[in-house]
Amino acid sequence: MKKLYYIDFPQEHLEGQMHRYRCVYCKVETTTINGKLEGHLPSCEYRIKLENAGYEAEAETKESLNKPMLHDADDYD
């Protein structure tokens, strides 16, 4: 299974930063995660939970890097 975006993970506010958040489990910033399961660390509890439930992280291969991004917000403007 795949979701379009993986944004339902628990987040915490970065101290002293007005609009910056990170994953509670792996401490990676949400801007780095960018809605992708593979944006979380492989050891992240959220990522492991979803992968065990059957969700797939998209493996970045040479071919996938050359493909246009699907469902980009600009596609619908």
Provide mean pLDDT across the span 53-76: 59
Instruction: Tell which phi-psi region holds residue 35, choosing left (phi > 0), alpha (psi between -120 and 50) or beta.
Output: left
Q: What are phi and psi of 11, to 5 degrees?
A: -120, 155
Q: Does 76 or 16 have the greater pLDDT score?
A: 16
pLDDT of residue 14 exceeding 80, the answer is: yes
- pTM greater than the 0.85 cutoff: no
Give the three-state DSSP class for 38.
helix
The pLDDT confidence band at residue 63, using thresholds 50, 70 and 90, is low
Two structure tokens written together for 55: 């969700």
Provide mean pLDDT across the span 50-71: 66
Percent of the chain residues past pLDDT 70, beyond the cut: 75
pLDDT of residue 35 exceeding 50, the answer is: yes
- Best CA proximity match to 33, nearest among 56, 9, 65, 14: 9
Pairing of strands 21-23, 11-13: antiparallel
Residue with tokens 């970045």: 60
- The confidence score (pLDDT) of residue 56 equals 86
Two structure tokens written together for 21: 């958040």
